[in-house]
Structure 1
Amino acid sequence: MKYRWAWLLFVIGGDAWVVIVVHLLLLWLRYGGTYLHPASILMSSYRLGLILTLLVTGAMLTISGAYRLPQPFDRISVSARLLRAMVGYILVISLLIYLLKLRDSSTSSSYSRFVVGGGWLLMFFALAAWRLSIGRLQRALFRRGWATRRVVIMGSAAQAQLLAEGLQRRCWLGDWVVGLLVPGSEPSVKTRPKAAFPIFQCMTLEEVDDLATRLKIERIWLALPPDQAAEHLLRLLNAPPLPVTWAMDHAGFERCLPILIDKLSADNSIERAETLVTQLQKRVLLMQDPLALPRVAFVGLRGIPASYGGVERYVEELSVRLVGRGYQVAVYCRSHYSRQRGQYKGVTLRHLPCLNTKHFEAITHTALATLHLLFMEDDIVHYQALGPSLLVWLPRLCGHKTVVTVQGADWQRAKWGTVAKTVLKTGEWATAYLPHQTITVSRALQQYYRQRYKQHVMYIPNGVNSAVHQPANHIRTLGLEAGNYILTVGRLTPEKGYHTLIEAYRRLNTDKMLVIAGGSSHTAAYVDQLYRLAKGTSIIFTGYVYKRMLAELYSNTYLFVSASEVEGLPLTLLEALSFGARVLVSDIPAHQEVLNGREYTFCAGSQTSLTTTLQLLLSSPQAMQSAAAVQQYVVDRYSWKRVTDDIERLYQTLFTSHQV
């Protein structure tokens, strides 16, 4: 940012005027014009109050990073930093007032509850309006090339072009790109594809110095591969200081560092090499990466690592893959669900409490998470499911780009009562109209949104990994062997149809056991009903199973059954197919979409239909198709790589539209 100190004084001066005007306005609203009279007893209190307000506000803004330049002055950064500052302000100013009154309780104070409470709210909006106007001023000046720094970018044509476009989007950095410096070995200007910026071929420091003088260049960005960048930095270390500033992003310099130390250590001791690197760091300005990927926060799930729940597995797979691609990802976790703290495979875990009850667990945690993320500066907030999405409007109001993934029509689930279903239907309406983009995991859900809400929503399915068959080991502790059991997996809730499956199983003539892998989800009464139905049969309830045990169950089952009556796109079915299991599922649209006529189905909710089809498949194994073709079809169509690619494209579209 050019003229950094001038900008800083401009911002601080504006903040001070806003605080003074707000303070005067609140006093006028509270006391009228009486406090302005020189003889008024409120005058001394007013002066003291104004000084305290200015000092405390300035201190809190400094601590919250509001004076750290350069910064974008957009809605995300402005609202997050001001919220942090104003929370600190209200706490500190209240404490100071209390201490002053303890010192002299007879002194009249201009800090009534109205002034303190109203000041917090009014000051927040006034400062936000002022700072957003600074952002608009920055963008206007940048478009005209005023108050900017003339820069060129040294690197390959493709990488330099990308960096130049990144600097254009992040105009608040104040770097005006006037050209690209490319290696002499690159294609000539005539044969190179047309670029948006002038291209110069000069790589020696003398040529660079001459070009900088002619074009009045103030900064040169390095966008070279690590080995070439290290070579150039070494030349820079041995050359006399140039009149231009050299800049590089932190991550790029870190990638160069091992190469630099190796090259310097060849002719010097390790200590001397490290000293030279320190000297080099003083000659190169390390900046935040203009091509940095967006920061993403996931809200509305129980947490990761996933122990149960399709949404949790979805977010775990997606978040870990995004981190591997360079994203900064945070996941809001419920304290009672996830024992992992700090980070998980590079994903930041933000734990918050909630009311652990059937009706209030999700919404109380989501409310706290939404309030918390308003203090953060995440670029994209990705909500999961209908209920949590009721609050998607709040981060959008503060400038965050918002995405919602709909995993199913949750209000159709039998475990919810009338009030809960009404709330979930309202959440469904919110997912259609309030976020920047809505994602459905099945074509059926996408069509439903188009017909009911006339809204375009994206289709991005759940994913599945290519699985490796696991021999029967751990499952033997349950009395199971390969091929001697039927398997069903999922939370024990009424819409999953376990009661239908158990009643059908009781009528079968078979020696195979039925394994139900899953646990309660605030459905204790329903679980008790299932235990009563299963009494006296060869049915095993395993509870929630994870990782290796679950993989063995999928790998060695005779048949996987899903009797669900409501689904979005069932991960358990995808997982079973990825292990090569043969399956029997209810004929709901979500199941038919996955199988596309490749496996047996039965009439959803019909015990008779399920019994008949099960008996056929148990007595005639040859009736079942080979699982290999279906397995490959599912792994290809629903690969996590494809899912992550689609999500990343969406994030990039939202992020780039937000930056300018």
Structure 2
Amino acid sequence: MKIAMIGHKRIPSREGGIEIVVEELATKMVAEGHDVYVYNRAGHHVSGAENDVEIGKMYKGIHIITVPTSEKKSLNATIYSVLATLHAVFHHYDVIHFHASGPCAMLWLPHILGIRTVATIHGIDSQRAKWGGFATRYLEFGEKCAAKYADELIVLSEGNKKFFKDTYGREATLIPNGIGKPEILEAQEITEQFGLKKDDYILFLARIVPEKGLHYLIKAYKQIHTDKKLVIVGGTSHSNDYVSKIKKAAREDDRIMLLGFQQGQILEELYSNAYLYVLPSDVEGMPISLLEAMSYGNCCLVSDINETAGVVADKGITFKKGDVDDLKDKLVQLLDNKNEVCAYKEQAADYVLSKYNWDDVVARTINLYKCGLKAL
């Protein structure tokens, strides 16, 4: 098949979970003999590097099409989605696969032209705290387009599946993200650069945006007497005011370390050597970072929303969403009980690797593509 993917920022990139998912899907689909085209968004990379793959170039057998867009945050995604979709409808794809609510606002166009469409909603973006009024309405419009016009609708969690059924009367197919087995690394680069050693830090690794709940974690951590550092890793996305507040709060406690966006060996070492991984989100789709943390054998403490609690099951620990006191109590419990932490660590990797598999994700996604083509 000839397949297009629209909705991510760019690949290769670890700017967010969508970018990781698109690269995994596209790479594995190419390996199976499919012809895959991905629509990268031009512009600034969260790491500070301008490393876009040039238009017309190949990456791991994937055709890269780079779409110009505005550097203005409020227009960036909208202009990209319009231009990418206009290009795609004239290039004879068997399937156009849209990712995320915003880009789905253009899904109606290939639909009326009779082109098969699949939409993956990675999370209910209209509920995310960083967006303003117009952006929220635009994201809601994208959700409605996905619900009304997509030939197949994919969601990543039971919570999101229920949302589309209750809100739009639309049945969705649940296909969670996958994960691969990582290489566990000793602390070397992180020791040299940041002074971090095995088991001497709590790790938060996600984008620095309000819905990830980092402010809860910082507030709870400041109330705890511990020598373990709080290491915060992640880039930003449309949330400068929030980032400023986080930086101010971090400066008030010298145990808190803000490492910014990280990738490669440093990222792998951070996962490999954490005492505890914490993800206190209010809203999620299906967080790749949580799957990764468990695949490295981490003890994971997450909010009790379905999208995170459902991933850790009984192989991790939860606290009541938004409840700083409960989060503090659970942190103290795990800091004071190394045996409990070790017990979770022993179970996490085998559990998550057996349940969430990229080969299965790709096979089920391709099946959704093919079912529609047979009908045509």
TM-score band by shorter chain is over 0.9
User: How many residue pairs get matched?
Assistant: 365
Residue in structure 2 matched with residue 264 of structure 1 by the alignment: none
CA contact (8 A) 1:297 1:331 kept: yes
Measured in 2, the distance between the counterparts of 1:449 and 1:522 equals 26
Report the 3-state secondary structure (helix = DSSP H, G, I; strand = E; otherwise coil) of the residue aligned with 2:232. strand
**What is the 5 A alignment of 1:62-101?**
none
Residue in structure 2 matched with residue 615 of structure 1 by the alignment: 332
Residue in structure 2 matched with residue 260 of structure 1 by the alignment: none
Measured in 2, the distance between the counterparts of 1:587 and 1:643 equals 25
- Which deviations, in whole Å up to 9, do the C-alpha atoms of 1:572-615 show, x marking residues without a partner? 10000001011101111111211223321111111111111101
User: 1:364 offset after TM fit, Å?
Assistant: 0.7
**What is the 5 A alignment of 1:43-442?**
294-336=1-43, 337=45, 338-341=51-54, 342-442=57-157
Measured in 1, the distance between the counterparts of 2:170 and 2:344 equals 40
- Which deviations, in whole Å up to 9, do the C-alpha atoms of 1:419-455 show, x marking residues without a partner? 2212211211111111111000111111221222222
RMSD over aligned Cα, in angstroms?
1.2
Residue in structure 2 matched with residue 643 of structure 1 by the alignment: 361
The letter for the 1-side match of 2:344 is S
Report the 3-state secondary structure (helix = DSSP H, G, I; strand = E; otherwise coil) of the residue aligned with 2:39. strand
Measured in 1, the distance between the counterparts of 2:179 and 2:288 equals 8
- Which deviations, in whole Å up to 9, do the C-alpha atoms of 1:231-284 show, x marking residues without a partner? xxxxxxxxxxxxxxxxxxxxxxxxxxxxxxxxxxxxxxxxxxxxxxxxxxxxxx
CA contact (8 A) 1:307 1:544 kept: no
Measured in 2, the distance between the counterparts of 1:631 and 1:334 equals 34
- Which deviations, in whole Å up to 9, do the C-alpha atoms of 1:390-418 show, x marking residues without a partner? 11011122232100000111111111112
The letter for the 1-side match of 2:217 is L
Measured in 2, the distance between the counterparts of 1:423 and 1:373 equals 21
Question: Please, which of 567, 570, 577 is the counterpart of residue 294 of structure 2?
Answer: 577
**What is the 5 A alignment of 1:593-604?**
593-604=310-321
Decide which structure has greater helix share: 1
The letter for the 1-side match of 2:337 is S
CA contact (8 A) 2:39 2:66 kept: yes
- Which deviations, in whole Å up to 9, do the C-alpha atoms of 1:362-389 show, x marking residues without a partner? 1110101011112211111000111110
Report the 3-state secondary structure (helix = DSSP H, G, I; strand = E; otherwise coil) of the residue aligned with 1:348. strand
* 2:284 is the counterpart of 1:567: yes
* 2:345 is the counterpart of 1:627: yes
**Identity within the alignment, %:** 36
Measured in 2, the distance between the counterparts of 1:596 and 1:472 equals 29
* 2:212 is the counterpart of 1:505: no
- Which deviations, in whole Å up to 9, do the C-alpha atoms of 1:462-492 show, x marking residues without a partner? 1111122111111111111111111011111
CA contact (8 A) 2:298 2:344 kept: no
Structure 1: give runs of 5+ residues left out of the alignment. Answer: 1-293
Residue in structure 2 matched with residue 482 of structure 1 by the alignment: 198
Report the 3-state secondary structure (helix = DSSP H, G, I; strand = E; otherwise coil) of the residue aligned with 2:98. strand
- Which deviations, in whole Å up to 9, do the C-alpha atoms of 1:495-538 show, x marking residues without a partner? 11111111111111100111111021121111110010011321
Residue in structure 2 matched with residue 243 of structure 1 by the alignment: none
* TM score, norm. by length of structure 1: 0.54
User: 1:359 offset after TM fit, Å?
Assistant: 1.9
* TM score, norm. by length of structure 2: 0.94
**Which one scores higher on RCO, CA 8 angstroms, separation ≥ 6?**
2
Residue in structure 2 matched with residue 542 of structure 1 by the alignment: 259
Report the 3-state secondary structure (helix = DSSP H, G, I; strand = E; otherwise coil) of the residue aligned with 2:23. helix
Structure 1: 4+ residue segments shifted above 3 A:
none
CA contact (8 A) 1:357 1:522 kept: no
Residue in structure 1 matched with residue 48 of structure 2 by the alignment: none
Structure 2: give runs of 5+ residues left out of the alignment. Answer: 46-50
CA contact (8 A) 2:315 2:347 kept: no
